[in-house]
């Protein structure tokens, strides 16, 4: 009987520890105040695209690599504007003129929410951190908080990140 109680206590202890985060939202938010770069793949509905992303201050720059017909297109999101460049042409538009759920606006929302510790809760799952924002979630490396993926179920949009690198403060 004593062994059963000890075994049960041990299992409860382990299961309790598996959901407690290895970091705090404040630590994650501090990391996302820094500039960073990454490669990413996005799947939205039946569409798929690959791109490189760079956060520099309050600006987010995106360079599409695929699909082939959009390769080389650049999108820079800053303040209330988005600048789109493609084949030597450039167009600046107001962000609020883009449809709700535009993948690149979702990406901007993700980065903004990660930099505000009041906007999400953390849990540990499969040796990674899960940031829950209510309407969407993100998976982060527990080691350095780099983004692994994000999912926006309402918009049927998923991001997968690789080569994520925080830039050192200068």
Distance CA 104, CA 129 (A): 23
Distance CA 131, CA 121 (A): 6
Domain contains 19: no
Domain contains 165: no
Distance CA 51, CA 49 (A): 7
In sequence order, what DSSP letters do the residues of 42-111 get, joined into one string? EEETTEEEEEEEEEETTEEEEEEEESGGGTT-EEEEETTEEEEEETTEEEEEEGGGSPTT-HHHHHHHHH
- With a pLDDT cut of 70, the percent of the chain lying above it is 86
We report the CATH number of the domain holding residue 150 as 2.50.20.10
Domain contains 5: no
Domain contains 117: yes
- With a pLDDT cut of 90, the percent of the chain lying above it is 77
Domain contains 79: yes
Is residue 115 classed as helix, strand or coil in its secondary structure? coil
Distance CA 104, CA 70 (A): 14
Dump pLDDT digits (tens) for 93-147: 999 998 989 999 999 999 999 999 999 999 998 889 999 999 999 999 999 999 9
Residue 168's pLDDT is 80
**At 21, is the pLDDT very low, low, confident or very high (cuts 50, 70, 90)?**
low
What residues make up the domain containing 135?
28-160
Domain contains 20: no
**Does residue 1 have a pLDDT over 50?**
no
What is the count of structural domains for the chain?
Answer: 1
Domain contains 6: no
CB 33 within 8 A of CB 50: no
Domain contains 119: yes
Residue 22's pLDDT is 67
- Among candidate residues 89, 55, 96, the one with its CA nearest the CA of residue 74: 89
Residue 169's pLDDT is 63
Is residue 26 classed as helix, strand or coil in its secondary structure? helix
Dump pLDDT digits (tens) for 63-76: 999 999 999 999 99
């Amino acid at each position: 009987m004593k062994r059963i109680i000890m075994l049960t206590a041990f299992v409860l202890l382990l299961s309790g520890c598996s959901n407690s985060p290895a970091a705090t939202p404040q630590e994650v938010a501090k990391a996302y105040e820094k500039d960073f770069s990454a490669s990413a793949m996005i799947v939205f509905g039946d569409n798929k695209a690959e791109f490189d992303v760079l956060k520099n201050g309050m600006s987010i720059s995106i360079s599409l690599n695929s699909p082939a017909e959009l390769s080389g297109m650049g999108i820079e999101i800053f303040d209330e504007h988005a600048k789109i460049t493609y084949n030597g042409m450039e167009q600046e538009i107001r962000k609020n003129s883009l449809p709700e759920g535009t993948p690149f606006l979702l990406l901007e929302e993700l980065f903004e929410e990660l930099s505000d510790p009041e906007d999400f809760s953390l849990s540990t799952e499969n040796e990674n951190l899960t940031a829950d924002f209510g309407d969407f979630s993100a998976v982060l490396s527990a080691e350095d908080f780099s983004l692994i993926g994000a999912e926006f179920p309402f918009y049927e949009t998923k991001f997968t990140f690789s080569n994520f690198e925080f830039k050192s403060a200068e």
